[in-house]
């Protein structure tokens, strides 16, 4: 088990470059399955474990995929299977995004059921409701979901009960080749939805209204491969903004799009942090005390759930008490227990966490319970007294490119140790503890009541 080791106390300064957005590139790679002519070339594709997983899913379907220097080339003319295997889908929920494109293009898809995960149960009922409204027959059994339509899907009006990002994307992709018009109401409005719509439109689709609550898709006969550059990752950008703020730093986050970061910028400013939108990036300057603020996660343009744990780390370093309310996922406070190991004072009441700022955090051995929790623990480690060891690095590798290297480039004292090095360290620690025990004189402790 590899680990990140962070020694707290350094102020971050300098320039860090944001990678392409994980949550854009995954649906965009899935959408490439719709290209019946030509190849798709996807630029700024971040080298993340999740990207490798979805590439493998496409390969398992018969597409040819190459990945070199952050450029993915997909040739989906050759798809030969419509079944996404369990081993890949279980690794990453976003694999389920191949269902819409497969169903639309071939009239059939069989995908392993994506399970729940640490942050909530994450049902897919809204995706399925959309496919059914478009004429697909859905069958569930033996851990698989099968969807079939006897020919082209039909355009339909679909109201989403929750503004689900994944359901909006899956239905939007399915609708591109359907007969007639599809209208998605209460659609998700995230920037990644707009990026996907732009990609689909350059493939020849007709998608209008992405970024608003109503998206209209006119079905077309055929789509083709195109070149596309993925938008910068707003969650990675937000993570660096918070890291800069917690250390009292001055950091330019290159590539960050201020328009995508509205709620994060507003909350940082409320806390007393200066945020300046510059050409091609955002600068964060934290040169005063941090004020406590309340935060409530909501679908875009509300405060992103994917920044909730990092923000909680920052609130721990603020003056006063803050309330963090998580409304998107029902179980996204797993990091609270880990923060407590670092001397944090946080009380959870239902969907809210009451965070007492100001206590000095202390380094500890902690575990990333999910991707963003991992980033948040590293952020807390940047200001903790002593050394913080963060295990569960596989979660962090799903969504951050070279996180330790990028933070170290800003002056953080952080590095990663391999599984082997971590085993040697732990062995040394065990031996040191044993040595101390054998040196201690045997103590006879009398119970106080004896
Ligand atoms: C790969 C990707 O883009 N992941 C993002 C995407 O996940 P994902 O697309 O899975 O998230 P959703 O927007 O679908 O989920 C939002 C809420 O809707 C619920 N729901 C969703 C679908 C459904 O059919 N039924 C239902 O009840 C979920 O349980 C959750 O409570 O958006 C989340 C919310 O911004 C982010 O945290 C994830 O980083
Ligand atoms: C929850 C996240 O991703 P996913 O939907 O891929 O699990 C995330 O990026 O924080």
For residue 314, CA distances in Å to 156, 291, 340, 355 come to 45, 10, 14, 10
Confidence of residue 425 (pLDDT cuts 50, 70, 90): confident
* Helix (H), strand (E) at residue 15: strand 13-17
CA 306, 310, 312, 314 dihedral sign is negative
In the chain, the domains with their CATH numbers are 3-18+232-422 (3.65.10.10), 22-229 (3.65.10.10)
Output the ligand 1 site: residues, CB below 6 A: 23, 26, 93-94, 120, 122-127, 162, 164-167, 188, 305-306, 328-329
Cα(385) to centroid(ligand 1), Å: 36
Q: Give the confidence band of 31 by pLDDT, cuts at 50, 70, 90.
A: very high
Residue 437 confidence (pLDDT): 60
Q: What spacing in Å lies between the alpha carbon of 66 and ligand 1's midpoint?
A: 28
Q: Is 367 a catalytic residue?
A: no
Report which ligand 2 atom has the smallest distance to the Cα of 94: 6
If one compares 175 and 122, the residue with the highest pLDDT of the two is 175
- Is 93 marked within a binding site? yes
Average pLDDT across the chain, whole number: 94
Please indicate whether residue 368 or residue 419 has the higher confidence score (pLDDT).
Answer: 368
pLDDT score, position 114:
81
pLDDT at position 442 is 45
Nearest CA to ligand 2 atom 9: 306
Residue 165 Cα to ligand 1 middle (Å): 5
Among the bound ligands, name the one nearest to the CA of residue 310.
Answer: 2
Q: Which residue pairs, CB below 8 angstroms and at least 24 apart, start in 374-378?
A: 374/4, 375/239, 375/309, 375/310, 375/400, 375/403, 376/309, 376/310, 376/312, 376/313, 376/335, 376/339, 377/313, 377/335, 377/338, 377/339, 377/342, 378/4, 378/6, 378/243, 378/403, 378/407, 378/414
Alpha-carbon gap, residue 249 to 253, rounded angstroms: 12
The more confident residue out of 448 and 168 is 168
Token pair in block for residue 294? 């309340």
Task: Ligand 2: list residues with CB < 6 Å.
Answer: 93-94, 119, 306, 371-372, 399
Within 10 A of 368 (CB to CB), how many other CB atoms are there? 27
443 falls in which pLDDT band (50, 70, 90)?
very low
Q: Whose CA is nearest to atom 7 of ligand 2?
A: 93
The pLDDT, as a whole number, for residue 249 is 98
Atom of ligand 1 nearest to the CA of 124: 24
Active-site residue (options: 11, 117, 334, 408): 117
Give tens-digit pLDDT for 329-358: 999 999 999 999 999 999 999 999 999 999
Is 232 annotated as belonging to a binding site? no
Given a contact cutoff of 8 angstroms between Cβ atoms, the answer to whether 372 and 235 are in contact is: yes
> What mean pLDDT do residues 375-400 have?
97
The model's pLDDT over 132-145, given as tens digits with 9 standing for 90+, comes to 999 999 999 888 99
Query: 371, 376, 394, 395: which to mutate for ligand 2, most atoms within 8 A of CB?
Result: 371
For residue 162, report the distance from its CA to the centre of ligand 1, in Å.
9
Determine the pLDDT at residue 404: 98
Tell me the pLDDT tens digit for each residue of 140-161: 988 899 999 989 999 999 999 9
The alpha-helical segments, DSSP class H, found in 247-322 are 262-270, 308-316
Predicted confidence at residue 450, as pLDDT, reads: 33
**pLDDT the model gives residue 141:** 86
pTM: 0.94
- Ligand (nearest to CA of 236): 2
> How far, in Å, are 102, 108, 109, 149, 225 from residue 105 at the CA level?
5, 8, 10, 10, 14
ipTM of the complex: 0.99
Confidence of residue 179 (pLDDT cuts 50, 70, 90): very high
CA of 167 to the centre of ligand 2 (A): 14
Please, are residues 21 and 228 in contact by the beta-carbon 8 Å criterion?
no
126 annotated to bind ligand: yes
pLDDT (0 to 100) of residue 429 = 63
pLDDT at 448 over 50: no
Q: Long-range contacts made by residues 419-427, C-beta under 8 angstroms, separation at least 24?
A: 419/1, 419/2, 421/2, 422/1, 422/2, 422/3, 422/391
pLDDT in tens, 68-86: 999 999 999 999 888 888 8
Tokens representing 177?
């080749």
Share of the chain above pLDDT 90, in %: 85
Rounded Cα gap, residues 167 and 129, in angstroms: 9
Model confidence at 392, pLDDT cuts 50, 70, 90, reads: very high
Q: Write down the pLDDT at residue 426.
A: 67
Q: What's the whole-number mean pLDDT along residues 400-410?
A: 98
Nearest to 363 by CA among 6, 4, 2, 3: 6
Q: Is 170 annotated as a binding residue?
A: no
């Amino acid at each position: 088990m590899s680990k990140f080791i962070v020694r707290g106390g350094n102020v971050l300064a300098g320039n860090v470059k944001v990678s392409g957005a994980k949550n854009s590139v995954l649906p965009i790679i899935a959408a490439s399955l719709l290209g019946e002519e030509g190849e798709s070339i996807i630029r700024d594709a971040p080298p993340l474990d999740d990207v490798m997983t979805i590439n493998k899913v496409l390969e398992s379907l018969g597409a040819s995929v190459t990945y070199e220097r952050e450029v993915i080339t997909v040739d989906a003319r050759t798809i030969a299977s419509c079944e996404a295997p369990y081993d890949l889908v279980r690794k990453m929920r976003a694999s389920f995004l191949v269902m819409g494109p497969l169903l639309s293009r071939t009239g059939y898809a069989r995908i392993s059921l994506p399970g729940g995960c640490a942050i909530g149960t994450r049902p897919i009922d809204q995706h399925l409701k959309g496919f059914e409204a478009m004429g697909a027959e859905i069958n569930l059994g033996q851990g698989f979901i099968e969807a079939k339509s006897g020919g082209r899907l039909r355009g339909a009006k679909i109201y989403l009960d929750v503004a689900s990002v994944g359901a909006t994307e899956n239905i939007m992709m399915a609708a591109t080749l359907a007969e007639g018009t599809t209208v998605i109401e209460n659609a998700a409005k995230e920037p990644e939805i707009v990026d996907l719509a732009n990609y689909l439109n350059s493939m020849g689709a007709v998608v209008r209204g992405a970024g608003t609550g109503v998206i209209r898709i006119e079905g077309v006969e055929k789509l083709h491969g195109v070149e596309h550059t993925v938008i910068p990752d707003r969650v990675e950008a937000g993570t660096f903004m918070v890291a800069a703020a917690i250390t009292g730093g001055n950091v330019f986050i290159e590539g960050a799009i201020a328009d995508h970061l509205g709620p994060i910028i507003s909350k940082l400013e409320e806390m007393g942090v200066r945020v300046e939108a510059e050409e091609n990036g955002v600068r964060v300057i934290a040169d005063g005390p941090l004020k406590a603020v309340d935060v409530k996660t909501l679908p875009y343009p509300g405060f992103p759930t994917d920044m909730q744990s990092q923000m909680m780390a920052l609130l721990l370093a603020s003056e006063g008490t803050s309330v963090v309310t998580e409304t998107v996922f029902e179980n996204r406070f797993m990091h609270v227990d880990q923060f407590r190991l670092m001397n944090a004072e946080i009380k959870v009441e239902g969907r809210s966490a009451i965070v007492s700022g100001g206590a000095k955090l202390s380094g500890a051995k902690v575990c990333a319970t999910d991707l963003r929790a991992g980033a948040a623990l590293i952020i807390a480690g940047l200001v903790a007294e002593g050394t913080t060891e963060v295990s569960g690095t596989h979660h962090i590798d799903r969504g951050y490119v070279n996180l330790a290297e990028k933070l170290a480039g800003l002056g953080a004292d952080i590095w990663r140790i391999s599984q082997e090095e971590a085993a040697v360290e732990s062995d040394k620690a065990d031996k040191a503890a044993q040595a101390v025990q054998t040196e201690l004189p045997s103590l006879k402790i009398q119970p106080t009541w004896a």
